Amino acid sequence: MQASEAEWTDIEKTIARTAFDQAYKREVEALLKQVQEETSTLTELGELWRLHDFLSAKRHQVEGKYDYEYSALPFVFAGLVKEGWLHLSELEGLSQDKLAKISSLARM
């Protein structure tokens, strides 16, 4: 068990997991929708390669972002709040220091 995992109560873990999964679901759904919309109007190969470039960047970004390690979670949540995939209110129930840290990081 990581040292930092001990700093999360069982209730906090449940809140964190739910919020994490919800943000992931939202971002994936939005991404799939965006790709479907952009693909539906493709008429040239150059557009397809631009989509390919976009997916290359997105894959790198998404795979790096959803890292469920307790020590990393405040940073992950701050990023998700900043990008609009999660609202701070969905993290209510976490300790005040965690919420303050996430809120502060999200404003950076």
Number of Cβ within 10 Å of residue 105's Cβ equals 16
Nearest distance, CB of residue 33 and a second copy, angstroms = 9
Q: Which of 77, 81, 83 is nearest to 58 (CA)?
A: 83
Choose between 62 and 99: whose C-beta lies nearer to a second copy.
Answer: 62
Q: Which of 108, 66, 67, 106 is nearest to 88 (CA)?
A: 106
C-alpha–C-alpha distance, residues 99 and 89, integer Å? 10
Q: Which residues bind a second copy (CB under 8 A)?
A: 28, 31-32, 35-36, 39-40, 42-45, 48-49, 51-52, 55-56, 59, 62
Nearest distance, CB of residue 21 and a second copy, angstroms = 13
Choose between 62 and 105: whose C-beta lies nearer to a second copy.
Answer: 62
Nearest distance, CB of residue 102 and a second copy, angstroms = 24
Choose between 47 and 97: whose C-beta lies nearer to a second copy.
Answer: 47
Nearest distance, CB of residue 49 and a second copy, angstroms = 6
- Name the residue type at position 93: G
C-alpha–C-alpha distance, residues 102 and 37, integer Å? 33
**Strand, helix or coil for residue 54:** helix
Choose between 6 and 46: whose C-beta lies nearer to a second copy.
Answer: 46
